[in-house]
Amino acid sequence: MKLKELISRARTCRRFKGDHRLSSETLADLVDHARLSASARNHQVLRFITIADRDTCEAMNALVVMGGSLTPEQRATATQHPGGFIVIAGPEKMDDFALMDVGIAAQSINLAACEAGLACCMIGAVKRNEAAALLELPKELQVKLVLALGEPDEVRHLVERRSDGSLTYYRDENDEHCVPKISLEEAIIIRK
Ligand SMILES: Cc1cc2nc3c(=O)[nH]c(=O)nc-3n(C[C@H](O)[C@H](O)[C@H](O)COP(=O)(O)O)c2cc1C
């Protein structure tokens, strides 16, 4: 698959096949894609926690919000929880460049998951302190971003910006998840 197609397919997923569990090995392989990615000053300050254990997954799932813009009926049911999580952790103080590592790592994992037929939801809306306690995170590290992973149980696709200008994701009449993206003409503001 061409990279652009992979990027286009790698849409955020919030409803998973809950009975499809991800192994520690699968999660570790996804982390390996982040490990090999670019890093500001190559300092590589990020560390990763993989969660394959079902009980810990359920506990983590209770600490995150997926699909804040969706109605409760449009969010995951009890049988659609993620099959695993990866938590990206880093030092409390990270400058702008170091924080960029978080996004780069997350997208590497997202793309690797998509390539493997899985899907991902990057989650900033997490109860960080409670998650750190659950994971017994070393005190010098903080939760930066949580990635929910699993086999997708919803159709997601890209659409153009809505006629009212909104870029908020939504479900269409077929309960398919639609993600508006700006056009290339809007994205590139100067061509010299
Ligand atoms: C840094 C970051 C934090 C995010 N946090 C959340 C979140 O807390 N909950 C959620 O459901 N989605 C979250 N998302 C997913 C975005 O909502 C999603 O990327 C956006 O709707 C565009 O969809 P796409 O990823 O399919 O392009 C986050 C994405 C990023 C990059």
What is the per-residue pLDDT across 4-37, written as a single tens digit (0 to 9) for each? 999 999 999 999 999 999 999 999 999 999 999 9
3: part of which helix (H) or strand (E)?
helix 3-9
Res 156: pLDDT? 98
Q: How far apart are CA 162 and CA 145, in angstroms?
A: 29
Which residue minimizes the CA distance to atom 1 of ligand 1? Answer: 124
Domain ranges of the chain: 3-153, 155-192
What's phi and psi for 126, nearest 5 deg? -135, 140
Which residue blocks in 10-90 are alpha helix, DSSP H? 24-35, 54-61
Closest atom of ligand 1 relative to the 181 alpha carbon: 27
Res 168: pLDDT? 96
Closest atom of ligand 1 relative to the 11 alpha carbon: 26
Separation of CA 192 and ligand 1 centre (Å): 32
> Ligand 1 pocket: which residues have CB below 6 Å?
11-12, 14, 65-68, 121-125, 169, 179
Separation of CA 120 and ligand 1 centre (Å): 10
The arrangement of secondary structure in 3-153, i.e. its CATH architecture, is 3-Layer(aba) Sandwich (3.40)
Res 100: pLDDT? 98
Which residue minimizes the CA distance to atom 11 of ligand 1? Answer: 66
Res 81: pLDDT? 98
Q: How far apart are CA 95 and CA 48, in angstroms?
A: 19
Res 75: pLDDT? 96
Q: How far apart are CA 114 and CA 39, in angstroms?
A: 22
Separation of CA 106 and ligand 1 centre (Å): 11
Res 42: pLDDT? 98
Q: Which residues of the chain have pLDDT under 70?
A: none
Angle, helix 54-61 to helix 128-135, in steps of 10 degrees: 170
Range 155-192 classified under CATH 2.20.180.10? yes
Res 152: pLDDT? 98
Res 178: pLDDT? 97
User: Is there a contact between 7 and 111 (Cβ–Cβ < 8 Å)?
Assistant: yes
Res 159: pLDDT? 97
